[in-house]
Chain A
Amino acid sequence: MLENAFEFVMATPLLLALIKILIIFGVLSGIVAYLVYMERKVLAFMQARLGPMRVGPWGLLQPVADGLKLLLKEDIIPAGADEWLFLLAPAISVFAAFTVFAVIPFAGNFYVTDINIGLLFILAISSLGIYGIILGGWASNSHYPLLGALRSSAQLVSYEVAGGMALVGVLLLSGSLSMVDIVERQSGAGVWYVFLQPVAFLIYVIAAVAETNRNPFDLPEAESELTAGFHTEYSGFRFALYFMAEYTNMVVVSCIAVTLFLGGWLRPFASVSALDFLKFAPIVAFLGAAIFIVWLGLKSLVTLERYFFVVLAAACVGLAVLVAYPAILNAIQGVFWFSAKVLVFLYAFIWYRATFPRYRYDQLMSIGWRVMIPLALANLIVTAVLRYFWLAHHAATAVAVLGRQ
């Protein structure tokens, strides 16, 4: 019975895709909620504070409380607002942010779909997401949102050019727009593209920070000047949608950077068999998490919380034992390395926010147009030329080899 159902699902691509979508959507929503928690915690630690501590042990239930609060809040539509656009705008943002995950390969065998224009699809959809911000700012019929939206459109247009051109450098090397293919080419070449395209990587990281409106480029929502920027007039769950879209976008750009530059689901040095012991990293990671949780729990001042941390640590140890089975260990390799890399990226986003002060608007534009775009262009040209000669060299060798036969 169960096997029949499993076979039926595997044989029906639509159903299989639907199940994958549900899994990805569910996990991603949770990740986005806890990304906010992680941001508050990491920011707090970097500022010698503790961050949320009151809701649940170490504030672990804070995202749930925040979500409930936003759901229960009054949904205000300003009197002069364009009602339909006002309602539509946050939906566009969230839609664009989540749709991108359709083509992101989380592992060699776990993706919703692999289309041959994958990267183009991502760029197109994430550019659509800007409409959410612009329309939201416009429809609010208020000064601050309008200014925020204007800034945001100018900023995103400027940085999309640089970021896009940085990605073209990778495309020249991979010769494919499919996300799965790009990772497989890296696997075949035996080297991550970050080592071949370091400049492009740097440009993409900077452009990614600017495109997600994060510090130090968070001018569209500069609190000191624009209150909250484009979402000043939004409240309740519509505000939560914008918030969710912003954090989902962070995950999106991290996923793109990891896939294109850092070898996607490949483990570090995938071609070096001497480092095969790295495949036990998931076990070590879970055990490390357990130790960390116990250490954290011992510092807790509330007895009940200490019990909770012990249970949590036990769960981590249980997971470690579970992934120690060779079949499961091999199955989760891809997802583990992919999420580990994405997590590092997300941490870096928060890290930047804790470190860098916000740029002035003219500085932002000057960096975008006078540094980033010329640099991206130069990188593109150099890559193209090198690639051309490299290809010509290989073609000549191939011809020579064929001619000898």
Chain B
Amino acid sequence: MRLSRLGGNDRDRSAEGFWPQGERRPYGQITGWKPVLRIRQVTMDWKDFFRKIFLIDLIKGLRLTFSYQRPDAIYTEQYPLERPPVAERYRGAPRLNNHPESGETLCIACNLCSIACPENLIVVGWARTEDRKKRLTTFTYDLSRCMFCGLCEDACPVDALELTQDFEIANYTREGMIWDRQALEEGPQPARYTR
């Protein structure tokens, strides 16, 4: 039962001819108020009656909950034992890639990542070799300030810096959030549990 025009949606009203067609609904006015009385008729036929006395709806509910006891219905992930598959485009812990065969760093110390970084959190240290070539010495990456925008890995011309899918980068100290070259090359080392 609805007695006032303060409720329901506009389509209801136009159907009833409550507001003249095409006219804007008059906000904050009470002119044209007319009570609408709508009573839903409650009837019960035999079918409904049997549904009720044989508790059909309750049994339907019981059947549904029972069916959820399948092992494959379980949604829970046992986190330290099972790790969720992370999307490929996920940007997590940074990594400095080494050459897979020689083991030497791919980084050419061009400093482009440091320039690209909006937070200025990358510091690339280099030294000149005798033939005046740049050679990477230190590389620090302050994860506590990183927003994982990925501009650094976009800027890298040799794919040396990469944001990986590792997400376990929590640390007990602020200092621990500043990763040096070794940490960047090894990646995060979370405790692995026996599988």
Contacts and interface: CB of A to CB of B under 8 A. Distances in A.
B57 to A, nearest CB: 10
B73 A48 contact: yes
A46 B69 contact: yes
B33 interface: no
A50 interface: yes
A354 interface: yes
Interface residues of A, number: 18
A53 B64 CA distance: 24
A72 interface: no
Contacts of A42: 69
Chain A contact residues, majority secondary structure = helix
B68 to A, nearest CB: 5
Contact of A46 (B65, B78, B195): B65
A302 B81 CA distance: 8
Contact of A301 (B66, B74, B81): B81
Interface in A324-359: 351-352, 354-356
A49 B69 CA distance: 9
A356 B62 CA distance: 8
B194 interface: yes
A355 B62 CA distance: 6
A49 B62 contact: no
B61 A355 contact: yes
B65 A351 contact: yes
B75 A355 contact: no
B32 interface: no
A53 B82 CA distance: 13
A109 to B, nearest CB: 36
Interface string B171-195: 0000000000000000000000111
Contact of A45 (B74, B193, B195): B74
B82 A301 contact: yes
Interface string A12-44: 000000000000000000000000000000100
14 contacts: A45-B68, A46-B68, A48-B74, A48-B75, A50-B74, A301-B81, A302-B193, A302-B195, A303-B194, A352-B62, A354-B65, A355-B64, A355-B65, A356-B61
Given A46-B66, A50-B78, A301-B78, 17 more contacts: A42-B69, A45-B68, A45-B69, A45-B73, A46-B69, A47-B68, A50-B74, A50-B76, A53-B78, A299-B71, A301-B81, A301-B82, A351-B65, A351-B66, A355-B58, A355-B64, A356-B61
10 cross-chain pairs, A with B, having the tightest CB-CB distances, nearest first? A301-B81, A50-B76, A45-B69, A46-B65, A355-B65, A48-B75, A355-B61, A354-B65, A48-B73, A46-B68
